[in-house]
Structure formats: structure tokens, C-alpha cells
Structure 1
Amino acid sequence: MSDLLWQKPGVKVDARIQAFLAGEDVILDREFFLFDIEASRAHAEGLQQIGILAADELDGIRRELATLAEDYRAGHFVLDERFEDGHSAIESRLIERLGDAGRRIHTGRSRNDQILVATRLWLKDRLARVAALCRESAEIALARAEAESTLPLPGYTHLQRAVVSSCGMWWAAWAEGFIDDALRAQQTLAWVDANPLGSAAGYGVNLPLAREHTTQALGFGRMQVSAAYAQLSRGKFEMAAIEALSSALLDLRRLAWDLSLFTSAEFGFVKLPSEYTTGSSIMPNKRNPDVIELMRATYAAAAAARTEIEQLLSLPSGYHRDLQFSKGAIFHAFGRGLGALELLPDLLRNLEWKPDAMRAALDPSMYATDLAVDLARQGMPFRDAYKQAADPARWAQGDPDASLAARVSPGAAADLRLDVLRARCEALG
């Protein structure tokens, strides 16, 4: 490992202790590295504005940071155990290439606000992707709801046959769910969109830092004003981002459960795209819905990550090294979560219904609720109508198309209000 930024003459460094302190930090910082480079550029520009850096020094720093980013993308520069973390790697590179100009880059900042700004930039990028994937999934669901609005599908409660439903209702439900998820991701992004750079270690510095410039240069919506709150907010905004991701993953989990059931031989309602299934290592007859089963499991990673960060936050004000462990949690949550959400749109586009099996599952009992409502509409008190409709002797095989056409309450099969949902989807921007 290169010399530590904080190492002073006479201070002994124990390799075992340092390995424990560093942990996986330098590996995890690969996720943040390009954002850290971008924040360093903005910070350098601010230092030049207040006279800490000369114009030619800023030009050199900009050039070397751009080269470092290119080298990193191309694999020519590797963030590895030579460095304590990503922040020290950037500073070491600048010192190596620029000498004193590189030694000035850390003026007015701490690794505390460096990690805060890199984390917020990273989360903004990920939350934008969550929102985009949820909107794409909602758009596909809306299109299929319109195309398949009258295709009968058994409706279940408690996993028991309940009433005649439709594919249009099924698709509309997921459309509205993913619209809500996209909106939540966007709202959380707007909340995270505050610039902590310039708060240093949580107490500011005795320099008139150009915080307004770095806010604008890094594309933040506002400046996080209080230097002390910048540290207090750590963990809090990561949990909020994970909760927004979790909202989408909860819907994905329930959708995956439906498909797990519907693709079984006992239901036989859905055929999955072949690439979303795998074979058995021993049973030649099997095609397993492994992809949707792992989609179903993905929420667990987000829930675990949120719990891990929450448990870290039993802390007084100010920075504490405990917070280092929050990085791995968000990477794990968003890595798994976005991996699953990336596969969702094509799954929704390409799954196929099996209408004959769906109609065959509509037994006479599923029209009992229609009968009770019809009797009530004719003037019979509903509780009396309910009792009469509960008598199996009154059940007969109904017409699913007629049942769906009669379901005229707003949001039901005959009045899906897809135009309302489409307007909400388009408003997401």
C-alpha cells in the first residue's frame, strides 16, 4: 500500500490493523471512483475561484483527472490494494503527475465529504435507472392491458378461486404499481439531490469555499446547507434510496409469485420466454422458472441492506468509522435489485397466455358474486342476496365475457381507466 494520507512521522502502522481498517474499501470504491473524480474536478474549480489554485494548476488537474477517468474505464488504471481507498488513489495520482498542485487538491475538504458527495451522485444515477425501468415496465403493462382487456383470467383470494377477472385487470394492476414505484424513485432522487461537498469533516473550514459552484457543476438541485447535518444525513439518505428500490422489488416479488404459480402444470396459464427458464441437471423433462424465482428472492437483498445500515446508525452526531460499512450494503442492494429490474421489461413483453387453460379454470362458483350483486341491483337487500347466491344449487356455468362486461365499477374489467394511468405514466417525464 502507498503511504497513508494521514500518516505522520513517528506514527507506527500495523499491517494487520490497517488491513482491518481498510477492509474491502478500496474494492468497493470502484463503484464510486468516476463520481469521486468528477467531484474532485468541481472541488478544484472552486479552489481556483478562491485563490488556492492558480489557473494553470487547475488546467493540469482537469487534464489529469480526465486522463485518470479514461485510464480507469479502459482498465489501464486499477484501483487495488496499493491504495487505502479511492480518495487516496486520486490524490496520489495527482501528486505523482503534478507535484504541488496535486498536494493542494485536498485543501478545504475531507474524505468525509468526499464519500458523501460520491455516494449521492451514485445514488442519483441508480435511482434514475430504477425510475426508468419502472416506467418502461408500466408502459408495457398498459399496452398489454389494452390489447388483452377482455381476455378472461381467474381471480383468486387466499389462493382460492374467487371471481372471473381479466388479463386487462392483471396488467393494469402492475402498470399502476410500477407507476407508483417510478414516482417514488423520482421523489427520493429529488430528496437525495443535495450537495454535501464543502462540509469537510462536518464542521466546515476557514475558507470561503465556492459551494454554490460545486453544486451547479455537479448537477445537484440544491446545496446541503448545514455542514453538521451533512454527516448526520449519512445512512439516512442511503436507507431512503433502498426503500425506493424496495418498493419496486416488492411489486416484482408479487408479480414473480403470480408467474411462478401460473406457469405450473396445475395452473398452466402462462408460458415464459425460453431464455427465462433453465433445465434440470438430473430430470430431462424439466424446464424451471429460475429467473422469476430469483426475481422473487431479490427483495431480500434490499431488506437486508436497509437493516444493516439502520443498525449502523445507533451513533451520536459527527462522523464515525462505523459508517464505512454502509457502502457494501447499498452496492449489494442496488446490484441485485437493478439486475432483476433490468430483466423485467422483456419478460413482460414476451410472456404468453394460454387462454384455453384460463377459461377452463372458471368454475360455476366464480359467478356467485355476480349473482348476489344482480339480486341487490334488483332491490333485494344485499345480505339476503348474499345468502341466496351462496347456495350451490343456484350456481350455473356463466359467460365470462358477459361477467367482465358487467363489471363497470371504476378500475374494474369494464372500466379499466387506462387513459388515467397512461396520463400518470407520461407525467413521469
Structure 2
Amino acid sequence: MSTKKLWGGRFSEEADPWVNEFGASIAFDQLMTKEDILGSLAHVKMLKKTGILNNEDADKIIKGLEEISDEYDAGTLVFDVENEDIHMNIESILTKKIGPVAGKLHTGRSRNDQVATDFHLYLKNRLPIIIEELYNLQKTLIKLAEENVETIMPGYTHLQHAQPISYGHYLMAYYSMFKRDIDRFEFNMKHTDISPLGAAALAGTTFPIDREFSAKELGFNEVYSNSLDAVSDRDFALEFLSNASILMMHLSRFCEEISMWVSFEFQYIELSDQFTTGSSIMPQKKNPDMAELIRGKSGRVYGNLLGLLSTMKSLPLAYNKDLQEDKEGVFDTVKTIIPSLKVFNGMISSIKINKDKMYAATENDYSNATELADYLSSKGIPFREAHAIVGKLVLECIQRNINLQDLSITEFKNISNLIEDDIYEILKPEIAVQRRNSLGGTSFEQIKKQIQQAKKDIQ
């Protein structure tokens, strides 16, 4: 006596419920319900078009699937762990609705190409949402940068004051990072926009199917040319997780700096109350929790990438049950990065920038030392010699607890008679920024060019 499973003809006994639960994926792959129904509709329409199914049977299946789709939209569809996955659940529901003719839906296909198709569709439908959120974030960055072209702040290397820069320049650096993220996700679309439907279990089918027709019905740009590859390929998911990991790394770096900039030690910026929280014991606290959460969530996205890479690393062709582990990490990553982008965008669009604090930080340091070295070099002193001279001068100033601009012209001339009164202008932070007018530099002119180009790019 066979089991109750739709595939149970070869089996003579049922598995225990706890075994069924372990093997089932319906708890998470029901997120692909709409995609599974759409895939089945495309498949049955192809079966009808090719004459593999007669019109009456095909129309009955189509009507049943459309009703199931409506029930899902209404929230009345109930799934059963006994039916393992979303594909068997939909087929079981369809069978109860229209009878044995539902079994004809599976003609010329397998769950192997069915699940691959669902997975492609799921990601294909979500990548544009992610890209759109990135565009929204870029627009916010452009607006902030435009408002802060002439806002001066310290630039850092090794977290030490290095040279003064424009805050607008700083923001446009992250704009460029997110631009590359968009490029990666758009390239990811190319490998996601391929239809596995019709590859069947691994070797294709004997039925005269039309894979190009079903691909067109689903909006796919092309079909897999090899049936083995079609059912076993998860490169598109790995690319997505890799791209998402890089994106989260960019967000995490930004959030790390936000967490520093809002601290008492810096006070460069202040976050809106909407994106901060307080302390249950310390009344004065205003914690950058949303920035910290986004920074923390980068770890789970990295974990999802490493998880799928590890799952895939030793899999023989073609389909293996291990591939059931391909989806949860992707679903979780989609659920993580879209809200992270929304929250991050809201957080920085409502940021308060303490321009005076930023500027003061560039006056009370030695980040203008390179200006003096460049000045001496422009007078004919070899740069290495100029570098050594200024280094000794900085040490002297540190010992005297003064800044370079506090030295008298006489003290400057004791170093070199080539130094003139114009050195005090040269040492001003805003002049240091303005003078860096090389392509991609931090000068106001260069930042405005970056912003103009960015506006063209996102139109």
C-alpha cells in the first residue's frame, strides 16, 4: 500500500510526523506562493498552446489556479506540512478544488525546475525594489552633499586627523559606493532573468514543450540552455548574497562613523529622536540604536552568504535536497536589506549637522601641516626635506601647546626665508580644501562637478 504523498507510489510506509516536519520547507517557501502560481499558470498555458493538454482541461486548471491566487491574496489559503513544500501544497489544494485533472498540471515538469523557477521569479521581483531603495538613498546623499559643499570637517586616516575636507565630499564618497552596489544588483538581474522551467528533473522531457513560450509568459529574458545547469544553478542567489553583503558593509561603515560623529567627543552631527532611543537608567542618553542595528545586521547577511557557499561547495549535479537550504538565507537577506535601506535613508535625511563643531576640529589640530609642506615644496625645497622640516615644527608646536597658525612670521622665517605672510591664508582649513582642485578632489568646484554628474546618473 502506497503512502498518501503525491510521490508515494513506490513507498509502502509513512514517515513519522517529526520526520515529515524536518523534511518540509512550507514554513518558509510559502513566501514564493505567488511565484509558484504564476509559474504553474505559464506552464499550463504552454501545455494548452502546444496541444499537450486539451483546452477543457487546461482552462479548468487555469481557473483553479486563479482562484487559489485570489484566496492567497485574501489571506484564506491554508498550507499543510504534510505536503512538504509550496509546490505540493498548491497542487493538493488544486486537486481538492478541481479533481484529478489537477494532476495533469505536472506534465513535462518536475519540482526541480519548478522550485528553481519560483526562486528566480522571487529574486527577479525583489531586485528592482532594492535598486529603487538605493536610488532613493543616493538622492538623499546628493541633496545633503549639495547643502554641505562648503561645510569643512577633518578627513581621517587611521582615525587620526589627516587633512581638512568638505563634508559634501565625504557624503559623495558613500554615493559612489552605493552606485557600485546598484551596478552589481543590476548585473545580478541578468543572471536572475533566466527561465529554468521545462528543464524537468535534470534531463529535459519527452513532451513537445515550448520553453521560450513559458519564459515569455513569465517575463524572463532567456532560458537556460542546459537542463542540468538549469535545475542546479544557484549562482544568481550567491551573487545576490554577495552583493547584499557588500551593500551591508557600506552601510555598516557609514553607521560606524555616524555612531562616532554623534558621540560627546565629536558632536559633529545629531540624529533625529525618531531614529534614536534612551536609556532605562541614564536619563541623559540618546543612543544611535538604528545605526547600531544596521551595523549589527551586516553580520547576519554575511552569514547567509557563507551558509549558501558552504551548502553549494560539494554538491554533485544535478538537484540534491541540500538545495532546500538555499532559500531561507536569501529570504532573510531581502527582509534585512530593504528595511535597512529605508531606515538608513530616513535617519540621514533628518540629520542635524553641527558645522561649527566640524570646522573647529580642523582649526585645533595639525591637519594643515601638509599645506605648509606643499608651500615649501612649491618654493623649490624638495618635498621630503619640506616634510621633515614641518614634522619637526609640528613637534615643537605640540610641546608648546600651540597650532601652526599660532607661530609668528618671524618664527616661520627662522625655518625658511621663503615663507611669506601669505602662509596664514594657506593654513586656513577652507583654503586647504579649496586648493585641492585635482580631479575627484575635495575642492568646492570638484564636489559640485561630482554632484552634477550624480544628478545625471540617477535621472
Distance in 2 between residues matched to 1:355 and 1:428, nearest whole Å:
28
Q: Quick check: 138-147 or 291-300, which moved more?
A: 138-147
What's the offset of the Cα at 1:257? 0.5
Contact 2:113/2:200 (<8 A) preserved: yes
Q: Which residue of 2 aligns with 1:305?
A: 304
Query: Scaled by the length of structure 2, what TM-score is found?
Result: 0.88
Q: Residues of 1 paired with 2:448 and 2:78: CA distance?
A: 50
Within 2, Cα distance between the matches of 1:130 and 1:372? 46
Q: For residue 105 of structure 1, give the secondary structure of its aligned residue in structure 2.
A: helix
2:61 corresponds to which residue? Answer: 61
Q: Aligned in 2, Cα 1:427/1:356: closer, same or farther, shift over 3 Å? A: closer
Question: Counterpart of 2:325 in structure 1: which amino acid?
Answer: F
Aligned match of 2:250: 251
Measured at CA, do residues 424 and 206 of structure 1 come closer, stay the same or move farther in structure 2, by a change above 3 Å? farther
TM-score under structure 1 length normalisation? 0.94
Q: Is the 8 A contact 2:32 2:119 kept in 1?
A: yes
What is the root-mean-square deviation of aligned Cα atoms in Å?
1.9
1:368 aligns with 369
**1:291 corresponds to which residue?**
290
Following the alignment from structure 2 to structure 1, what is the Cα–Cα distance between the partners of residues 57 and 455? Answer: 48
Cα distance, 1:166–1:89 mapped onto 2, change above 3 Å: same
Give the length in aligned residue pairs. Answer: 425
The answer for the alignment partner of 2:117 in structure 1 is 117
2:419 matched to which residue of 1?
A: none
Q: Is 1:168 the equivalent of 2:198?
A: no
Partner AA of 1:413 in structure 2: T
Amino acid at match of 1:200: A
Q: CA deviation at 1:37?
A: 0.7
Q: What is the CA–CA distance in structure 1 between the aligned matches of 2:206 and 2:224, rounded to whole Å?
A: 18
Partner AA of 1:241 in structure 2? F
* Aligned residue runs from structure 1 range 214-253, under 5 A: 214-234=214-234, 236-253=235-252
> How far is the alpha carbon of 1:279 from its aligned partner?
1.5
Residue 273 of structure 1 is matched in structure 2 by 272
Contact 1:372 1:382 in 2 (8 A): yes
Matching of residues 327-338 of structure 1 within 5 Å: 327-338=327-338
Q: What CA distance in whole angstroms lies between the structure 1 residues aligned with 2:298 and 2:446?
A: 29
Aligned CA distance change for structure 1 residues 420 and 361 (closer, same or farther; 3 Å): closer
Local SS of the residue matching 1:220: coil
What do the CA deviations read for 1:209-267 (whole angstroms, capped 9, x no partner)? 11001111111111111001113313x22111111112211110100011000011111
Q: Which residue of 1 aligns with 2:380?
A: 379
1:422 deviates by 5.1
Task: Determine if the alignment matches structure 1 residue 156 to structure 2 residue 159.
Answer: no
Q: Describe the shift of the 1:420–1:202 C-alpha distance in structure 2 as closer, same or farther (beyond 3 A).
A: farther
1:426–1:44 Cα change, 3 Å? farther
User: Superposition pairs for residues 342-421 of structure 1, below 5 Å?
Assistant: 342-362=342-362, 363-390=364-391, 391-392=393-394, 393=396, 395-396=404-405, 398-414=427-443, 415-419=445-449
Q: CA deviation at 1:112?
A: 0.8
Partner Cα separation in structure 2 for residue 39 and residue 124 of structure 1: 13
Give the corresponding residue for 2:401. Answer: none
Identity %: 30
| Partner Cα separation in structure 1 for residue 120 and residue 163 of structure 2 | 47
Greater mean deviation of Cα atoms: 390-399 or 58-67: 390-399
Q: Unaligned regions of 5+ residues in structure 1, if any?
A: none
Tell me, yes or no, if structure 1 residue 39 matches structure 2 residue 39: yes
Letter in 1 for 2:271: L
Instruction: Give 3-state SS (helix, strand or coil) of 2:6's partner.
Output: coil
Give distance in 1, aligned partners of 2:12 and 2:376: 88
**CA distance in 2 between partners of 1:265 and 1:428 (Å):** 36
User: Which consecutive residues of structure 2, in runs of 5 or more, have no partner in the other structure?
Assistant: 398-403, 407-426
Residue identity matched to 1:296: R
- SS where residue 106 of structure 2 aligns? coil
**Matched AA of 1:412:** G
